[in-house]
Amino acid sequence: MTTFLGMPAVAPRGVGQLRGDEPFPVAARRELGNEQLRRNLGHATRTIRAKRAAVVGEVPDWEELRLAGEALKAATMARLPELLVQLEEQVTARGGHVHWARDANEANAIVAGLVRAAGADEVVKVKSMATQEIGLNEALQAQGIAAWETDLAELIVQLGHDKPSHILVPAIHRNRTEIRDIFLASMEGAPADLTDEPRQLAMAARSHLRRKFLSAKVAVSGANFAVAETGTLAVVESEGNGRMCLTLPPTLITVMGIEKLVPTWTDLEVFLQLLPRSSTGERMNPYTSLWTGVTPGDGPQDFHLVLLDNGRTAVLADEVGRSALHCIRCSACLNVCPVYERTGGHAYGSVYPGPIGAVLSPQLTGVEDNASLPYASSLCGACFDACPVRIDIPSLLVHLRAKHVEAAGPSAEAISMAAVAWVMAGATRFRGGERLMRLGRLLGRRRDRISALPPPLSAWTASRDLPRPPAQSFREWWANRNA
């Protein structure tokens, strides 16, 4: 199956949050030293895992649902161009406006222009991975427009001048005492006697946000799904903040990745069962908001849908890699990943952390810009078992590693292995090599192992010791024994 949407281009540099400042191993090493982070993460992921396992266990046809989700996503990707055109026609016919954004820069400019056209200098936001991906808040700020996050965890991240570390629970790395301190330091009108009791924290956020909901003229959202046959958009959430944003302000702007389509309402039925159980461990989402264009006298009267590519067409062009676009952002793969549980989300450098981030971010940016991410996995396969749409993340990781190796040319490892093979292929060379190895006995004489070697061999000893070479080689032992 092939799909063609135009010239595939990767997400541009210098905008958005898909590239980290340092490679994963460097960032992960630092994060591993943060004991508070590891405690918070261990507790949070254990709790979510148990909730998910309980509600998934209640569904007798869970595996069939997963297969249906996988098949629907694959079929949608194969027809993406025509379905996107159908979506545009339906949204337009129902009074909405559709904008096509090739990349983050175009999407940010479109949204900023729409906010200005509405005469607003602030917007309220529903939690949205797409807008984080393109760095919308920063782009709006540069234009003098304030963007207020209304999801509680996103608000904590925003007020703490922090970065999200989980797709679903962006402040998973914070405990409640840290949250109280952030509110006291940065939240307008936070009560001075605020404690770290969860109800008190929620009430403080509620009264802060209510003022924003009632005054904002423009809301910005993402979308969990869009139904091509009717032009209907869907957002699922747990706090009701999304419902407030989607109904109160007169202008609504939705930024949606082009892969979020489903062809029909019947398809939505499958995903609305898979998503809540896999993400928050609930049977259904507390709030499921659906809207179709504009309804006179009810809700926003000006609706804009921004369809975002930002590297997705390039992902779609790879027949193996494209299954990363099936992701419904439930974050189940993060919660079961032994690497994510220990390093946390910041180490991945992108807004998409964990196993899905390790395969999606390098494809959106081009593998060379996120070359360390496909290696941020033990390939244990827990992510595949948990994924509600059966994305074979371990195979994608291996596929991307192969692409990286091909693009990077012969590595130090490959050159070393070729040299070792050449030495071992000749008896004289092998004997010489053995004698050379014996020099290593000097290096390991103190601790009976070698812990530090000069570059490029330091790549090995940075994380592992080498055994001290024996005083006698096997060949020498064999010769002595026969003599």
Residue 236, SS3 per DSSP: strand
Residue 1, SS3 per DSSP: coil
Strand partners, 227: 232, 262
CB of 233: closest distance to ligand SF4 in angstroms? 19
Closest to ligand SF4 by CB, 22 or 385: 385
328: contact with ligand SF4 by CB under 6 A: yes
CB of 24: closest distance to ligand SF4 in angstroms? 18
Closest to ligand SF4 by CB, 27 or 333: 333
CB of 179: closest distance to ligand SF4 in angstroms? 24
Q: Contact with ligand SF4 (CB under 6 A): which of 136, 171, 333, 347?
A: 333
- Please give the Cα distance from 327 to 362 (Å, whole number): 15
Closest to ligand SF4 by CB, 212 or 329: 329
With contacts defined by CB under 6 A, name the span among 5-13, 115-123, 201-209, 388-396 that binds ligand SF4: 388-396
CB of 278: closest distance to ligand SF4 in angstroms? 6
- Amino acid identity for residue 105 in this structure: N
Residue with tokens 């541009």: 12
Residue 351, SS3 per DSSP: coil
CB count within 10 Å of CB 284 equals 14
65: contact with ligand SF4 by CB under 6 A: no
388: contact with ligand SF4 by CB under 6 A: yes
Angle between helices 198-215 and 176-186 (to 10 degrees): 40
CB of 389: closest distance to ligand SF4 in angstroms? 5
331: contact with ligand SF4 by CB under 6 A: yes
Q: Residue 348 has what DSSP assignment? A: G
Closest to ligand SF4 by CB, 157 or 333: 333
CB of 360: closest distance to ligand SF4 in angstroms? 8
307: contact with ligand SF4 by CB under 6 A: no
Over 67-112, what HEC string results? HHHHHHHHHHHHCHHHHHHHHHHHHHHCCCEEEEECCHHHHHHHHH
CB of 445: closest distance to ligand SF4 in angstroms? 49
Are the C-beta atoms of 259 and 81 separated by less than 8 Å? no
Closest to ligand SF4 by CB, 76 or 230: 76
CB of 455: closest distance to ligand SF4 in angstroms? 37
Closest to ligand SF4 by CB, 204 or 258: 258
382: contact with ligand SF4 by CB under 6 A: no
With contacts defined by CB under 6 A, name the span among 148-156, 285-293, 330-338, 366-374 that binds ligand SF4: 330-338
CB count within 10 Å of CB 332 equals 29
Sign of CA dihedral 91, 93, 94, 98: positive
Rg (CA), the chain: 26
330: contact with ligand SF4 by CB under 6 A: yes
Angle between helices 152-159 and 176-186 (to 10 degrees): 60
Query: Which x/- pattern over 89-128 shows residues binding ligand SF4 (rule: CB under 6 A)?
Result: ----------------------------------------
- Please give the Cα distance from 252 to 291 (Å, whole number): 11
Are the C-beta atoms of 126 and 221 separated by less than 8 Å? yes
Structure tokens at 112: 């900023």
Q: Contact with ligand SF4 (CB under 6 A): which of 327, 351, 373, 450?
A: 327
159: contact with ligand SF4 by CB under 6 A: no
With contacts defined by CB under 6 A, name the span among 169-177, 236-244, 380-388, 410-418 that binds ligand SF4: 380-388
- Please give the Cα distance from 36 to 337 (Å, whole number): 19
Structure tokens at 148: 């207020």
CB of 222: closest distance to ligand SF4 in angstroms? 14
Q: What are the phi and psi torsion angles at 426 (to 5°)?
A: -130, 135
225-227/232-237 β-pairing: antiparallel
332: contact with ligand SF4 by CB under 6 A: yes
CB of 279: closest distance to ligand SF4 in angstroms? 7
Are the C-beta atoms of 458 and 452 separated by less than 8 Å? yes
Site for ligand SF4 in 247-286 (CB under 6 A): 278
Nearest to 9 by CA among 311, 242, 276, 398: 311
387: contact with ligand SF4 by CB under 6 A: yes
48: contact with ligand SF4 by CB under 6 A: no
With contacts defined by CB under 6 A, name the span among 30-38, 121-129, 132-140, 331-339 that binds ligand SF4: 331-339
Query: What are the angstrom distances between the C-alpha of 226 and each of 63, 283, 298?
Result: 24, 21, 20
466-467/449-450 β-pairing: antiparallel
364: contact with ligand SF4 by CB under 6 A: no
CB of 456: closest distance to ligand SF4 in angstroms? 35
- Please give the Cα distance from 73 to 70 (Å, whole number): 5
Closest to ligand SF4 by CB, 245 or 376: 376
Q: Contact with ligand SF4 (CB under 6 A): which of 201, 389, 397, 450?
A: 389
56: contact with ligand SF4 by CB under 6 A: no
Site for ligand SF4 (CB under 6 A): how many residues? Answer: 14
Whether cis (ω within 30° of 0) applies to the bond prior to 456 is yes
| Chain residues in the site for ligand SF4 (CB under 6 A) | 278, 327-333, 356, 386-389, 391
